[in-house]
Every structure is written in C-alpha cells, then in structure tokens.
Amino acid sequence: MRSFRIFAALAIISAGLVISTPAEAKKDKAAAETGAIVNPFDGVPVIANCGISAFDEVFAKAGTIQTNVHGIYDGLSSARTNVNTVMGVGADAPLATALEGLKTNAAGKLSIAMDGTMPKLKASDAVPENVTKALDAVNGLVTAGAKAVTDSAALVDQVKELVAAAKGFPMKLPTLLPTLTPELAKTAPGITKDNVKAVGALPDQIKAIADQVTGIFGDIKGVFGG
C-alpha cells in the first residue's frame, strides 16, 4: 500500500501540473547536468495580505500552502545535506559524490533492499561505524523523500484551484482601487502582483520536490544497483 501511495503521488504531481518556460527548462537542464540543486523558492515573493478582502481570502489559503511546501522542501534538503555531511563532502556537492564515497568505504557490503518503491540500503555483513552512520543517513533521506512526495501531492488539487482564482486578480484590480483607502490604493497593486507571481510558482515548487526525490532515488539505484 505504501509503495502504491508514493507511485500515485509522483504521478499526480507529474500529470500536467507545470508548464515550464524555456528559461526554466534551460535552468533545470543545466542543474541536472551538474548535479546542482536549484532552490525553487529563490526570487519568489512571500505571500502577504494585500488589503482587498476578495483577494486576501485566496492569498491567505495560498500563503498557508506556500509555508507548508517550503517546509516540505526544507525537510528534504536537510536530509540530503545530512548525507553529504556524514560523508564529509560539501553540502552543495552532488549526492552521487557522497554515495560513491559510501560505496568505496563499504567495500561491497552494501546493497539495495527495495521497501516498496523506496531504494533503501542494507549491509550484508558487519561494517564500520562510519559506514553504519552513512547508511542510516541515506535511508533517512529515502524516507524523507517518500514523505515529501506524499505530503506535497496532497496539496496539488488545492494549488490548481488557487492558481486559477488568482490569475484573474490583475484584471479585477482597477475596478476595486476606487473602493480602497488612498494608502491601500498605493500598496495593493504591488502586493497583488507579487502574490499572483508567488501563487503561480507553487506548482513549480511542488514539482521540484518530486523531481528532486526522483533524482535521489535514481542516484541511489545508479550507485548501488537495483
């Protein structure tokens, strides 16, 4: 059942959730070639109230989801960094670098034991403490990845609705400005613009989590077989 849930979650996230721009596709390709991780939250505004109640009802829901997605992403990134730290490589080094080091240290005593769709590692014989710690870190990352996919996939339908709702706000804004106080009339357009951008980025951010987990699982299988 757990393996089905993870597979289904990946399918939900991948099923037409995001249409990347050419610039985004180029950036993603470059990251894939170097093993770098592109933070999908870089340059994206934090969603805030704009002062227009009809808009803020949507922005409040989107802001909660933005916080949740950011937390999911940070948890996954922390687990990934932990593997690199345990293996003594730089936090920004490709995960495969740490995994190759672990494979060398383990001297052929580690292999993949699939737990559903999760490629966890097991030792075939006694291994040194440093290998045990690294094995635990990798398996912790796999568990974190599966949870990140499941948790973020649960937000997909809500995100689609919020993106559709926020898309029309810029067109509605001019008719609402005369109803605002002078101060709000000055600030609401800029905040609305930033918020709409941030809401529109949520699908990319959710897909980035799924893509990163797919890459993590692929790196583990690639290094240890399976």
Residue 162: Cβ-neighbour burial (10 angstroms; 0-12, 13-18, 19+): buried
| pLDDT of amino acid 139 | 97
Q: Domain containing 165: what range?
A: 2-29+71-224
- 173-181 long-range CB contacts below 8 Å, 24 or more apart? 173/52, 176/52, 176/54, 180/51, 180/52
For residue 151, give the 3-state DSSP assignment: helix
Answer yes or no: is 60 within a domain: no
Query: Does 124 map to a domain?
Result: yes
What pLDDT shows up at residue 38? 77
DSSP 168-198: THHHHHHHHGGGS-HHHHHHHHHHHHHHHHH
- pLDDT of 117: 87
Total number of domains in the chain: 1
Residues 6 or more apart in contact with residue 172 via CB below 8 angstroms: 54
Residue 57 lies in a domain: no
Query: Could you tell me if residue 174 is inside a domain?
Result: yes
Determine, yes or no, domain membership for 13: yes
| 39 belongs to a structural domain | no
Closest C-alpha among 150, 146, 152, 147 to residue 203: 152
The answer to whether residue 121 sits within a structural domain is yes
Mean pLDDT in runs of 10 for the chain (226 residues)? 53 48 45 60 96 97 98 95 96 94 95 92 93 97 96 96 97 94 96 98 96 95 88
What residues form DSSP beta bridges with 146? none
pTM: 0.84
Looking at the domain assignment, is residue 182 inside a domain?
Answer: yes
